[in-house]
Structures are given as structure tokens and as C-alpha cells.
Amino acid sequence: MNTILYPSREKWAEILQRPAVNPFELEETCKTICEEIIKHGDDILRKYTWYFDRVKLDDIEEPEEEIQESASLVDPDLQQAIRNAKKNIEAFHRLQLSAPKTYVNENGFRCWQEERPIEKVGLYIPGGNAPLFSTVLMLCIPANIAGCKEIFLCTPPGKDGKINPAILWTARLCGVTRIFKVGGIQAIGALAIGTETIPKVDKIFGPGNHFVTAAKQWVTRYRTAIDMPAGPSEIMIVSDDSATPAYIAADLLSQAEHGPDSQAILVTNREDIAIRVKQETERQLGELPQGSMAFKAQEHIRLIVLNDLEECIEMVNQYAPEHLILNIRDYLSFTKKVQHAGSVFLGNYSPESAGDYASGTNHTLPTNGYARSYSGITVDAFRKKISFQEIFREGLSYLGNTIETMAANELLEAHRKAVSIRLKEEPLK
């Protein structure tokens, strides 16, 4: 945990440098595994599940009886909590559906846009220490609202060869079509290429470690789209003297426990706040289980003191955080100044955990600076837009000279003639 006081702008880039994650170094591994999947299909999934996870797979697809059994294995209180979260997530994402947009020109033509769902989507749910059933909600709910016909889910099995019951139960609750016990590069490759068991999908969604990130970027070569590149999870908090240090410390640690390379940064205009947050973070860290990832990630916690809040927001926009908390007195006066962030939390009572689970916004967000160019997951991510145009003869007469002039100047004579041949026709009697 480092405290940095009033750094010059020239040092910001160095201070904000993220833990090194270079998916391109893994390209050869991704290439090898994908080429083997093309040749040998399911056998390669079993091979690499044993190699990476030390799990021997019999059935790659989750049996229906185990999915049904999950209802009896998930605590009723957790089931109700998941239903409560599902309700909010559905309500927020339904607001994202848009009406058709039509442009009508009075001279004889019109253009409009219609949306279609992406038919087959693959959802990747990371394994590891925690069963991320919340990510099932965040991916499957917008996929269903978008109207995707088939929703396939891949997640690595535990050491017992089984998927956590909470993931199975949530997947069934949310309408996942089929579930597969495969993780890592081999899961992404299977979804992109297809095997005897796992169908090829049109687009792959979901977070993952640097192996998964590298695989997602690699498999675009197989005409499969991805939601976004990603890196380690991260949070940036902006605070002034109205903030509660204990709350800030809790938010920093909640993000740090995602993994050893997670990054958590406080940016404040008050030295006393930085001191108190450091003390509180150390105190709360001592209350966490010794095995918590937060212990490993604490070296990536940074407490930065700048001159004023305007400068703090400038640093936010340079860093482009996945999660941003504006823990300041007049936060609404600063929201318009935030240009680059995945999801923003406002005030003392908006912890990042709320967005991770139950407030309704999506927690699948751009990391590693990609908030400069990517959005978090929305219903739009599961849909595509098709444009239509209907041009009558009078409309083509109105557009004709414009089209012909432009085509001629681009030396595309066939383009020009496609218009002129129509305009030379005698009008219908």
C-alpha cells in the first residue's frame, strides 16, 4: 500500500500503471489449443481440463439431473437473494430496449433501423475461489431480454468435477440453454470453433483471467465476436472531507479481494483523509481471513493526494477505471466531467458491491483502460442493428445527381450506372 503526495502530472502515467497483463504473450498457447480443438474436438477439452485444472472429465455437458438437484443444494436465503437481484437487473436492462428509428424524406424515400438478437451466444463464468453466480445474472438476463435463441454457458468444474450448485441453479433460473464443464482457453476455443458437444456461437461474453482474455482476443479469427477485452478488476475512489474513511477502506479491500493483481486507488484532495484511510484499511485487512486475496493485492492499493477535486477528476479520466466511486460532497456537479469509466457510484452509500450484485446495473465492465472505448454489458451487446431503405422513383430522381456525381469522382462507373440506368427508364403508365 503506497501513499503518494502531490505528484506532478509527468509522473501520473507511471503512478497509474496497471499490473502487467500482456495477452499477446499467450498467443502461441491459444493458437496451439485452438488448432487442436479443430482437429480433435472434445478430446482436447478433456486433455486440457486435466492439464490445467487436474480434473478428469467424463461428461462435458452438465447432466440434467445435477441441474435439477442444485435446487435442493442452494440455501433458500441465497435463492431469495438471487431472485431479488434478478428483479432489479431485469428492470434496469429492460429500459435499454429501443424503439425503431425511421427517417422519412418527403422527396420519395425512407430509411429505418431494426434490431435483431444475436442468435447463439456463449457465456463464460470464471471459476477459482468463488462461484460467480452473480455473473450468470449479469450475462444471461440481458441475453434473454435481447431475445437470444440459444444461450450456452461454460465454467470450469471444481476439483470434484462438478459445477457449484449456485451457478447451476442461477443458470436454470435465468434460462441458460445448455451448460458445459469447461474453463480457460479451451472453453473459449470450443465456443468459437465448436466441437462434438459444444456448439459454435456467434459471440462470447464474460470476464476471466489473462488466459481467458488472451483466448477471447485470439478466437476472433474464427468469425466469433467478443464483448470486450479485459484485465484485472479495478476501482478508483475520489474523496473529499465529507467521505467516511471506513467506507473507503472497505471499498478498496472489496475490490482487492478479486485477485492478486486487482488494483484499488484512492484519489483525494485531503492528506488527513489519506492517512485515516490507510489506518482503516490496515485495521480492516486484519479482520479478513488470512487466505483472502486482499492480502496479496494490497501492494496494488495506492492512496494519492492531489491539489483539488478538479485535478482528481483529470486523473480519473486519464486512468479510465472499471469502477469509479465519487465519494464527495457535491458529486452530481462532477458527473458530467467524468469521461472515461465503466460504472460510477455516487456518495457515501453507494458501495461498488451494490453494482456487483443487486442494484440493477451490469458488473461486466471494461478494465485495463478500455473504458476509454468500450461500454459495460448492455442489452445492445446481445443485439445487432439492420438498416433498411425504400426508395421510390421520385426519390431516386431526387438523389440521382448527387449519387452519380459522387460515384464518378470516385471512378466507380458501375456505381454511377446503377443509378442512371434506372433514371433513363420511361415512367410507368
Residues annotated catalytic, as ranges: 322-323
Coil/strand/helix, residue 393: helix
Q: Using CA atoms, how far apart are residues 49 and 195, in angstroms rounded to an integer? A: 15
Here the contacts of 130-135 (C-beta below 8 Å, separation 24 or greater) are 131/164, 131/166, 131/167, 132/167, 133/82, 133/164, 133/166, 133/167, 133/169, 133/170, 134/85, 134/356, 134/357, 134/363, 135/206, 135/207, 135/363, 135/364
And the C-alpha cell for 341?
Answer: 469509466
Give residue 148's identity as a one-letter amino acid code. C
Give backbone dihedrals phi and psi of 355, rounded to 5 degrees, phi first: -70, -30
Q: Using CA atoms, how far apart are residues 258 and 207, in angstroms rounded to an integer? A: 12
Strand pairing report for 178-180 and 2-5: unpaired
108: left (phi over 0), alpha (psi -120 to 50) or beta: left
Give me the helix-helix angle, 271-285 and 245-256, nearest 10°: 50
> 285: closest CA among 270, 301, 273, 271?
301
Q: Are 356 and 233 in contact (CB under 8 A)?
A: no
Give residue 56's identity as a one-letter amino acid code. K
Rg over CA atoms, the chain = 26
Strand partners for 323: 235, 343
Burial of residue 42 (CB within 10 Å: 0-12, 13-18, 19+) is middle
Strand partners for 264: 235, 301
Strand partners for 123: 153, 205
Q: Using CA atoms, how far apart are residues 140 and 121, in angstroms rounded to an integer? A: 10
Q: Using CA atoms, how far apart are residues 299 and 426, in angstroms rounded to an integer? A: 78
